[in-house]
Structures are given as structure tokens and as C-alpha cells.
Structure 1
Amino acid sequence: MAQTTPALSTRIIAGITVPDTPLITKALAYARSLMDDQGYHHVVRSWLTGMAIISHLPTSMTASIDLEAFAIANLLHDLGWAITGDVVSTDKRFEVDGANAARDFIQREVEGSQGWDAHRLQLVWDAIALHTTPSIARFKQPEVAFTSLGIFAELAGPTVAPEGTISKAEFDGIAAEFPRANLKEYVRETMCRLCRTKPETTYDNFVGSYGERFLEGFSLEGKQQIDKLESVIV
């Protein structure tokens, strides 16, 4: 079974062993300050689900994973859903807003970015920006791939994770401490809110499908990538 990096202290949250660093503690507080209860519970569940998956994989697959970067990416991955603060743009996809906000957070909170070189910053940025694009994320670094996988497993249940990597008991234990009440409705309303408030960021990704299905007057007709390509290719 994989172990957290020896240099990192650990603690147990909802039955899952996780790394414990000052920056992770600050990330938890930062996410809590910007997100409503359901959004905050989702990002914490995503982190715990990802850590459960990693903990059950062979050490040969996980020993080199930067668990602090993984934690920060998970905890801040949906800052593009923020209901307060100034991290949400008017012209960028929510994934990019989250990635930019996480990078700014690290650079602000770590004096001189000590221990956070360009590679680690890029890992966090990529993990967040690509978390809704598993067809790309799974071919990237483990921190990126497992962020996407853990978030998807958090939403869809443990059966979508590799067999034996997170049990139903672990999944239910996480949900008991960080409730999943009305999760489907919450995600739907969040996606529709993005479609209402900055529709131009939803035409080339899955978010626009929520608007087309659930928002009267919202349409993707003429606005998708194929429409743009058909109009510009010479």
C-alpha cells in the first residue's frame, strides 16, 4: 500500500490518511472562505477520494507523487464556482479561473515561492485546468491524472475507480463527514449559473450542454467548435 511522502506529517480526515502541511491547512481555509457548503464539501471529498485511491495502489506507482501539490489542486479545483471574492473572471472557463486562483494562492502564501518551483506550480495549474478533460488528463503526470480520476469518482461513485482502490465503506465514510445532499441538483444549478452569467465560456465544453437542456433560450447552435472551424477553414 502506498504511503504518504515521509517528509510530510499526516492526519486522518473521515477515515482517510492525508498529508498535513501549513499550506494545505491554508488551502482548506481559502476554499471554505470562497465556496458555499456544497461546493466546499465537494472539493474536500474529491481530495479524500483521490487519496483513498492512491493509498491502495502499489508504491511503485505512487511513491513519486507530490501529495502536497495533489492536495492543493483538489482543494482549489473549483474556485471557478466561487460565490464571493474576486477569483471568478467574466471571460474564462471555470477550470481556468480555478487554476489561475490556485497558482496565485501558492505564490501569495509561500514566501518567495520557497519549495514551489515552476514545475510544481504547473502541476497544480494543469491538474485543475484539465480535471474535466480525462481523455487528456490521464496521459499527464500522476498528480494531474489522479486529480481528474478522484473528482470523477467523487461524483459518480467508487465503481468508476480502478477495482480495489476505494471501498464503499471509505466512500460512505467520507460522505458521512462531508454530506452529498442534493449533489446532482447543486452541480446542475452551478453549471446553469455559468451558462447564465458567462455563456461564452460554455460553448466549447460540457457546461453548455447543461444550458441547452435546462435553460430556456440557451442554445449552442452556431457556437460550437465545429461551427467556428467550418466558418474559418480555407
Structure 2
Amino acid sequence: MTTRYVAGISIPDSAMARAATELMRATQSGLMFDAACRTFVFASLIGQGRELRYEPDLLYISALFLRIGVTTLYRHSQQRFEVDSADAAAQFLRGYGRSRDDIALVWDAIALHTTPGIPSHKPALTALLAAAVDTDLLGTHCQALCPGVLACVLNAFPREAGFKIKFLHTLAEGQLHRRQSTYGTINADVLEFHDHHLNAGGFCERLLASTWPY
């Protein structure tokens, strides 16, 4: 199979990566799957710019499993969705015989991606995943991207019309049954927005006000 490149980034094509791709395509909406793929590409581009070392396959798995916790598979869970997502990735990696260290790296990267102020002080995988999420949603690290890169990424993994509202709705729907798990996180803001009580300066307001990429 010919290796696929997006904005100069090689999309992992190992047996593990292909299995994860098929699983996530079958589990998540196209909107969330494309967001996960954009996150991987942005993380890789930022990693190149910072000259950080990481295993692409692990970064890819981290990005794909990022929000599986808000799918219908976890509609009875009372954990934070980030923990459900991290646990799912860990279970998947165990099935491929990955080491405890690799699994711990991926678990931390996924579990901490919505926790401001911590990921940047963690190993490359965690730092890059969080930075890429901010880039995909808010354009926070867009200065690290070369001209034309955004168009390439969006062409490969489009943001469908109404992405921001649909994205927030998906996050909220996956957490309405476990409101207590969102206390002290940006997810509390997501649920308040869903209930039409938007906090000034909150995550949802920042996302909707962002002009990235349009």
C-alpha cells in the first residue's frame, strides 16, 4: 500500500494503525474522526518544528482515541470522558503487545489533553497532543505552521459546515449523564453552553469566537 502523506506528514500504516483507523471510523462520527486526524497531523507538524522525538504510531493512536469516551459506548459511564478514552486506548495497545511505558505515555496524553497548564510540562506525546487540540480548535499554535499547510490539512480532513456547534453538541451529549465528572474542567463549560448559560471567557465562547480557520 502506498504511504499517504498529508501536508508532508506520513499517516501511519502499520497493522496496528490500520486496525485503529477501522475501529474509530466505525465508532465515531465523520466529524469527530476527521478532527482526530487533523489533530494527529497538527501534532506532527508542531513536533517537527520543535524537533521533538516521539513514535508516530503512538501519537496516531492517541489522536484517534482522543474522544471515544463521548460515544454511545460510554453512555453509562460515570468517569471523565478523557479517562474512558485513555482506558480504551490502553486496552487497544495491550492487544498489540505494547509495553507498559508506551501505554502509560498514551494514557497520559489522552487523559490530560483538556487540562490547561500541565501537558506542556509532560513528555512529547502529551505536550504535542494538547498543543494540536488547541491548534485544531482555536488556532493557538498556528504560527508554527507554514503557509499552505492549513489548506492541505483541511482538504484531507475537512471541517464540515457548522463544525463548532456540532462539536460542542457531541461533547455535551456524551457527558450529560455524568455532569459530576466535569466539575473543574472545560467540560463543565461545555455543559453550561449546552444548557444556554454560557460563561464569559469560557472554552465555548473562545471556540465560537475563534476565526480559525474560518
Determine if the alignment matches structure 1 residue 68 to structure 2 residue 57.
yes
Q: Name the aligned partner's letter for residue 105 of structure 2.
A: L
3-state SS of 2:4 partner: strand
Aligned residue number for residue 191 of structure 2: 211
Aligned residue number for residue 137 of structure 2: 155
Query: Is the CA contact 1:50–1:150 (under 8 Å) kept in the aligned structure 2?
Result: yes
Query: Is the CA contact 1:192–1:215 (under 8 Å) kept in the aligned structure 2?
Result: no
Determine if the alignment matches structure 1 residue 123 to structure 2 residue 105.
yes
| TM-score (structure 1 length as normaliser) | 0.76
Separation in structure 2 between the aligned mates of residue 168 and residue 183 of structure 1, nearest angstrom: 23
Q: Which runs of 5+ in 1 are unaligned?
A: 1-8, 218-234
Shift of 1:34: 0.6
Separation in structure 2 between the aligned mates of residue 20 and residue 194 of structure 1, nearest angstrom: 30
Separation in structure 1 between the aligned mates of residue 2 and residue 110 of structure 2, nearest angstrom: 23
Cα gap change, 1:40 to 1:122, in 2 (>3 Å):
same
3-state SS of 2:133 partner: helix
Larger Rg: 1
Q: Structure 1 vs Structure 2: percent identity of aligned residues?
A: 23
Separation in structure 2 between the aligned mates of residue 131 and residue 202 of structure 1, nearest angstrom: 14
Aligned residue number for residue 167 of structure 1: 146
Query: Is the CA contact 1:10–1:20 (under 8 Å) kept in the aligned structure 2?
Result: no
Count of matched residue positions in the alignment of Structure 1 and Structure 2:
197
Separation in structure 1 between the aligned mates of residue 196 and residue 75 of structure 2, nearest angstrom: 24
Shift of 1:14: 2.9
Aligned residue number for residue 194 of structure 1: 174
Separation in structure 2 between the aligned mates of residue 105 and residue 15 of structure 1, nearest angstrom: 28
After TM superposition, the structure 1 = structure 2 runs for residues 102-113 of structure 1, keeping only pairs within 5 Å, are: 102-108=89-95, 110=96, 113=97
Q: Name the aligned partner's letter for residue 176 of structure 1.
A: N
Q: Name the aligned partner's letter for residue 104 of structure 1.
A: Q
Aligned residue number for residue 14 of structure 1: 6
In angstroms, what is the RMSD of aligned CA positions? Answer: 2.4
Determine if the alignment matches structure 1 residue 78 to structure 2 residue 57.
no
Aligned residue number for residue 231 of structure 1: none
| TM-score (structure 2 length as normaliser) | 0.82
Separation in structure 1 between the aligned mates of residue 119 and residue 90 of structure 2, nearest angstrom: 18
Separation in structure 2 between the aligned mates of residue 197 and residue 16 of structure 1, nearest angstrom: 41
Instruction: Output one character per residue of 1:117-137: Cα deviation in whole Å (capped at 9) or x when no partner.
Output: 111000000000001114111
Cα gap change, 1:191 to 1:75, in 2 (>3 Å):
closer
Q: Name the aligned partner's letter for residue 142 of structure 1.
A: A
